[in-house]
Amino acid sequence: MLKIDNLTAEIDGKTILNGLTLDINAGEIHAIMGPNGAGKSTLAYVLGGRPGYEVTGGSVSFQGKDLLDLEPHERAALGLFLGFQYPVEIPGVSNVQFLRESLNSQRKARGEDPLSGGEFLKLAKEKAALLRMDMEMLKRQVNVGFSGGEKKRAEMVQMGILDPKFAVLDETDSGLDIDALRIVGDGINSIMRKPDRAVLLITHYQRLLEYVKPDYVHVLANGRIVKTGGAGLAHQLESEGYETVVQEEAA
Ligand code: ADP
Ligand code: MG
Ligand code: MG
């Protein structure tokens, strides 16, 4: 589904990704863990096509298409979803307006008819319930005055509505208390744990991985994947620390 080959990328002339190779098949959940500053968020931004991140080498194909050749909205219409560490606030726009507009613009790009107001509300209610979110909250302005946990849950409602093929979730667990962590974890599983979907979960801690069990865990350090293992690797990282694991690998 997603094939990243020897990717290098820089910000402001500084190389951040340095030969990153990663293959993700449909039906798989991959976790990327790594120390602060390793380039995890940079990878998410490069996949999303954020301006300012310059790809200097390598390739990324998504469902057989050259991802790097596409505009961010084209990537989204193809079924790529990005969840961010720091969701943005959009004063003056309600969640319902924002979500309906996002969905319908993606449907339009795919040549599908837009959902009517009624059809959309039915879908939104279903996905909000999955994340235990009150519809009243979805009528409020996007993320304005939301707690950290509410922002993440709203983002997962968005993911449920857009129904992507592939989700890159950057530190979706940051700022979540135990209950919100379980709700968000269950949400990710029910939306994305399917044979034709895949997820790249970027996380600093293994606690989210207790709820969303990864098929593979990768360690990102110095801009590339330095180690790959199963779910057990996350526990090893938590108990031994990144430094030990990364040094072992370099030795
Ligand atoms: P992680 O998500 O793994 O903590 P990031 O991808 O956010 O790491 O950052 C990787 C490196 O890129 C860090 O050294 C960071 O300081 C640097 N970096 C990130 N954004 C910028 C920027 N806009 N300009 C210069 N350096 C940046
Ligand atoms: Mg960081
Ligand atoms: Mg980050």
Probe target for ligand 1 pocket from 12, 16, 17, with the most ligand atoms within 8 Å of CB = 16
Kindly give the number of the ligand 1 atom that is closest to the alpha carbon of 52: 23
Distances in Å between the alpha carbon of 126 and those of 1, 2, 137, 148, 216?
A: 28, 29, 14, 22, 30
pLDDT digits 0-9 by tens, 57-72? 999 999 999 999 999 9
Whose CA is closest to 8, among 68, 70, 81? 68
> Structure pTM?
0.94
Give the confidence band of 6 by pLDDT, cuts at 50, 70, 90. Answer: very high
Question: Would you list the domain boundaries of the chain?
Answer: 2-250
Evaluate: CB of 212 within 6 angstroms of ligand 1. Answer: no
Q: From the CB of 36, is ligand 1 less than 6 Å away?
A: yes
The model's pLDDT over 199-243, given as tens digits with 9 standing for 90+, comes to 999 998 888 999 999 999 999 999 999 999 999 999 999 888 888
For residue 85, which ligand has an atom nearest its CA? 3
Q: What is the DSSP letter of 151?
A: H
In the prediction, which pLDDT does 78 show?
95
Per-residue pLDDT at 245 = 80
Pocket of ligand 1 contains residue 110 by CB under 6 Å: no
> What does the pLDDT look like over 84-107, one tens digit per residue?
877 788 999 999 999 999 999 999
Amino acid identity of residue 59, one-letter, is: S
Average pLDDT of the residues of the chain: 93
141-168 pLDDT per residue, tens: 999 999 888 999 999 999 999 999 999 9
Q: How confident is the model at residue 247 (pLDDT cuts 50, 70, 90)?
A: confident
Tell me 209's DSSP state. Answer: G
Residue that the structure tokens 């970027």 belong to:
202
Going by CA atoms, what residue is nearest to atom 13 of ligand 1? 37
Atom of ligand 1 nearest to the CA of 44: 6
- For residue 227, the model assigns a pLDDT of 94
Percent of the chain at pLDDT > 70 equals 98
Angle at 197 between CA 191 and CA 198, to 5 degrees: 100
Whether the Cβ atoms of residue 150 and residue 95 lie closer than 8 Å to each other: no
Q: Which of 32, 33, 41 to mutate to test the pocket of ligand 1 (most atoms within 8 A of CB)?
A: 41
CA-nearest of 68, 87, 56, 41 to 200 is 41
Is 250's pLDDT higher than 90?
no
- Distance, CA 39 to ligand 2 centroid (Å)? 8
Q: Is the CATH code 3.40.50.300 the one for domain 2-250?
A: yes
Instruction: Give 37's DSSP letter.
Output: T
Contacts of 178 (CB under 8 A, 6+ apart): none
Q: What is the structure's pLDDT at 251? A: 61
pLDDT value, residue 84: 81
Residues near 241 by beta carbon (within 8 Å), at least 6 away in sequence: none
DSSP output for 70-133:
S-HHHHHHHTEEEE-SSPPPEEEEEHHHHHHHHHHHHHHHTTPPPPPHHHHHHHHHHHHHHTT-
* pLDDT greater than 80 at residue 23: yes
Q: Is the pLDDT confidence value at 248 over 80? A: no
- Interface confidence, given as ipTM, is 0.94
Q: Measured from the CB, is residue 38 less than 6 Å from ligand 1? A: yes
Alpha carbon of 113 to ligand 2 centroid (Å): 39
End-to-end CA separation in angstroms for the chain: 33
Residue 139 has pLDDT above 70, yes or no: yes
Distance 37 CA to ligand 1 centre (A): 5
Q: Whose CA is nearest to atom 20 of ligand 1?
A: 11
